[in-house]
Every structure is written in C-alpha cells, then in structure tokens.
Amino acid sequence: NNAASATYATIGGGFMQTAAGNYSSIGSGQNNTINTGATHGSIGSGQNNTINTGATHGTIGSGQNNTIDTGATHGTIGGGRSNTVSAIYAFIGGGRSHVASAAYAVIGGGQTNTASATHCIIAGGATNTAAAIYSSIGGGLTNVINTGATHSTIGGGNLNTIALNNTYALIGGGQSNTVNGTYGVVVGGRGNTVSATYAFIGGGQSHAASAAYAVIGGGQGNTASAAHSTVAGGFGAIASA
C-alpha cells in the first residue's frame, strides 16, 4: 500500500505512504505524503504529514497533520500537530497549530503562534504573533508585535502589545502593557502605556509615560507627560513640566 514513484524515492515502512518527489524519503508512519516536485523531501514518521509540490529539501520529523506548503524550500517541522510552514527556510520545532509564513521565521513550540515576518522568532507560549522583521517573543499568551516594529521584543506575559512601526521597543513581561514609541520600554506590571520615543516604565500598574525620555519607576496610576520628566513611584503622581 506504499508508493515510492519517483527517482531514488524510498519508503522504509508504514501504511499508505506516498513518496513522489525525486530523492525523497519516508521512514515510517501512516498516510504521509511527499508530492511531485518536492525533491529531497523527508518525513521521518507520524501520520497525515505532507510536503507539497516545489517544497524542495523540506523536512518533517514526525507528528500529525503537519504541512510544508508549496514553494517553502528548506522548510522544517520537527513534530507536533497541525503546524504549517509556508515560506523558505522557516522552522517550527513542535507544538500545535502554528504558522510560520515568512522566510527564516522560527517558532519553537507552544500552541497557535504565528510568525509572519522575516527572521522573527517566537520561542513558545500560545496565540502570540510576531509580525515585524527581526522581532522576538519569548513566550506567554496573546502577545503581539505589530508590522513595522522591527527589532522589538516581548519577553512574556499576557496581552502585551508593541504597536505599528515602533522599532527597537521592549516589553519584558506583565499584563496588558503597550509600547507605542520607538525605543520605548515597559519592563513589567499591568496596564502600563509608553507612547513616546525613549520613554520608560519599570513596573506597577496603570501608568502613562507620554513624552520623550519620560520615566516612571513604579507605583500606581502615575503620569509622566513632559519630556525628560521622572516619577519614581507612588500613587497618582503627575510630572507635566
């Protein structure tokens, strides 16, 4: 029930396997497919994994329902389930329901992460999105680096966002923090917003640093709205001049 139908194609074992690309190989498993034109493709084992036409040198280690799309040459999926690589040299290590859709994009693991910009990285976590070139997300849940925010980083946390075109921004962690300024930084905390270039919030809750080079160290509900202003901490403090 296995079919190795191309030049030098090999199938080691398993059931209902198809190796239709020249020099392709399937080790074992069930219902795995290497399509015509996917030369030098390799599937180690697993079930219902597919390397599509033109995805030369594609590799799927194992897992279930993983796909290397048409033209995604040198794409790699280590394992997991329902993962898709659709760009050249993109990589998914494992986990479930990931999409790596840009050249050289990397997803390590987790669930339902999307890496859609060239050279971006998501190490793990769930429902994270890296949409900017050279951006990185360490982990956490539902963190987003938007398009144009090149070289920006979110370490982890939940519901953190780096806005469009804000290059070199950083959110270390925490929850519901936002950076909307180039080189802006939120180290952690909750509900903090940086909305100017080089502005900084260390931690705490519900702060707003809205002027260039403004700094808030911590506390709650503080505002730094003048350039180069500083609020070290406290509650409801305002630095506006």
Is 241 a residue whose pLDDT tops 90? no
Is 44 a residue whose pLDDT tops 90? yes
Strands (E), 81-201: 84-85, 91-92, 99-100, 106-107, 114-115, 121-122, 129-130, 136-137, 144-145, 153-154, 161-162, 170-171, 178-179, 185-186, 193-194, 200-201
pLDDT for the residue 200: 98
Q: What's the pTM value of the predicted model, to 2 decimals? A: 0.97
pLDDT digits (tens, 9 = 90+) for 173-204: 999 999 999 999 999 999 999 999 999 999 99
Instruction: Band the pLDDT of 68: cuts 50, 70, 90.
Output: very high
Neighbours of 183 (CB within 10 A): 20
Instruction: Band the pLDDT of 55: cuts 50, 70, 90.
Output: very high
Is 75 a residue whose pLDDT tops 90? yes
In whole numbers, what is the pLDDT of the chain averaged over residues?
98
Q: Which of 107, 138, 140, 104 is nearest to 119 (CA)?
A: 104
pLDDT digits (tens, 9 = 90+) for 146-171: 999 999 999 999 999 999 999 999 99
Instruction: Band the pLDDT of 114: cuts 50, 70, 90.
Output: very high
Instruction: Band the pLDDT of 25: cuts 50, 70, 90.
Output: very high
Question: Which tokens is 158 given?
Answer: 């939940």
Q: With DSSP H G I counted as helix, E B as strand and the rest as coil, what are the percentages for the chain, rounded to 5?
A: 0, 30, 70
pLDDT for the residue 42: 98
Q: How many CA atoms lie within 13 Å of 228's alpha carbon, on the beta-carbon side?
A: 0
